[in-house]
Amino acid sequence: MIDRIVRYISVFLALIIVLPLHEFAHAFVADKSGDYTPRMSGRYTLNPLAHFDVLGLIMFVVAGFGWAKPVPVNPTNFKRYKLDSFLVSAAGITANYITAFLFLPLFYLSQYVPEFGLFTTVLQSTLYYVVTLSLVFFVFNLIPIFPLDGYRIIDCFVKRRDRFYYNYRTYGIYVLYALILLSFIADFTGVYYLDILGIAIGYVVNLISVPITAFWGLIF
């Protein structure tokens, strides 16, 4: 029971760090690209309350999957439409990777913190989840399905927009829903090979974490 409570608290605290950084990165780059929509919408901030969706946050903590409020952007305000669209779309996942890079040494250092009961446990667990969730968000948001960042990045370079393109944009999300549903079924039934999405994300996370762990491994 205590372990579960510690996990819930740690995931919540980690999300307070990870989600606002992801969303603020979108807002920051959009603002610097000439679009002040995020600023006028109150999203040009690191305040978690500005970015959290209550239900999405609860789902993150309880079910391991959720969402934040997307940052409103008006690409017609960009100074360089295609380049700025790409930079804004890539800003969130870039922030995730940088967050993982910067917090991993903090997690390593936390192993040397004197034992203060639950405080030390929560601290170490929170830093662990900041790194892990940052990498998971990085990979998940790269999935090329609307409205994820991966789709928006690819969309910057698509010239031919035919029926297939619009059908893919409209119905691709249902494929993602199906994969998420399979993940829930896998957790509920214990048939873990059904968790196709989780297995794929875990594999890619392991790959992209190698440069980070290798770098900090030279020091710790």
Task: Choose among 131, 109, 95: nearest CA to 10.
Answer: 131
Cross-strand partners of 52: 68
Q: Which of 200, 21, 16, 206 is nearest to 96 (CA)?
A: 21
User: Torsion over CA of 30, 35, 36 and 39, rounded to 10 degrees?
Assistant: -20
Q: What share of the chain is helix, strand, coil (3-state, %, to 5)?
A: 75, 0, 25
Catalytic residue, from 23, 31, 84, 149: name it.
Answer: 23
Q: How many residues does the chain have?
A: 220
First-last CA distance in the chain? 33
CA distance 63 to 57: 10
Q: One-letter amino acid identity for 136?
A: V
Q: How many CA atoms lie within 13 A of 92 on its CB side?
A: 26
Residue 23 catalytic?
A: yes
Residues designated as active site: 23
